[in-house]
Amino acid sequence: QLQLVESGGGLVQPGGSLRLSCAGSGFTFDYSAIGWFRQAPGKEREGVSCISNGGSTIYADSVKGRFTISRDNAKNTVYLQMNSLKPEDTAVYYCAARVLFGQIKCVPSWFGSWGQGTQVVVSS
C-alpha cells in the first residue's frame, strides 16, 4: 500500500528555516516524481516544488531562491529545505507522488497519491 508521511513542520519566526521530509513506502520510490504542495486557509492547493525521478526540479516563483528540493532514494525520502521563511509561507504542506519516468508537471491534479500534511506557521 502506497504511503507518504510528511514531517518537519512547526512554528518558525520570519527569516527562519525549516526542513520538511516526505518518506515514501509501498511503491517504487526511485521511479517516482515527488511534489511538495501547500494550502493556506481559504486558498487553493498550490505547487511549491517538484522533483522528477531523474532529479529535475521545478519551483514556484514565490519560493525560488529560498526553497530547495532534494531526494535520497536510498532512504525513500524527499526533502524541502525552506530558508528565509515569510508569513505568507504559512500553510499545510503536503507531499505527493506519481510513478513516472520523464518530464513532470508540478500541479496537484497531476499527482495521485498524497500524504496527510504537516503544518508550517511563520510568525513572530
Higher-scoring residue by pLDDT: 99, 19: 19
Dump pLDDT digits (tens) for 104-123.
999 999 999 999 999 999 99
Residue 22 is predicted with a pLDDT of 98
Band of the pLDDT at 102, cuts 50, 70, 90?
confident
Contact 31, 81 (CB under 8 A): no
> Three cell numbers at 77?
525520502
Helix then strand count (H, E) for the chain reads 0, 11
Dump pLDDT digits (tens) for 2-36.
999 999 999 999 999 999 999 999 989 999 999 99
Residue 100 is predicted with a pLDDT of 82
Range list of β-strands (E), 1-117: 3-7, 10-12, 18-25, 32-39, 46-51, 57-59, 67-72, 77-82, 91-99, 113-114
Band of the pLDDT at 59, cuts 50, 70, 90?
very high
Residue 53 is predicted with a pLDDT of 93
User: What is the C-alpha separation between 22 and 24, in angstroms, rounded?
Assistant: 6
Residue 58 is predicted with a pLDDT of 97
> Percent of the chain having pLDDT more than 70?
100
**Mean local confidence (pLDDT), 89-100:** 96
Round the CA-based radius of gyration of the chain to a whole number and report it.
Answer: 13
Average pLDDT, the chain: 96
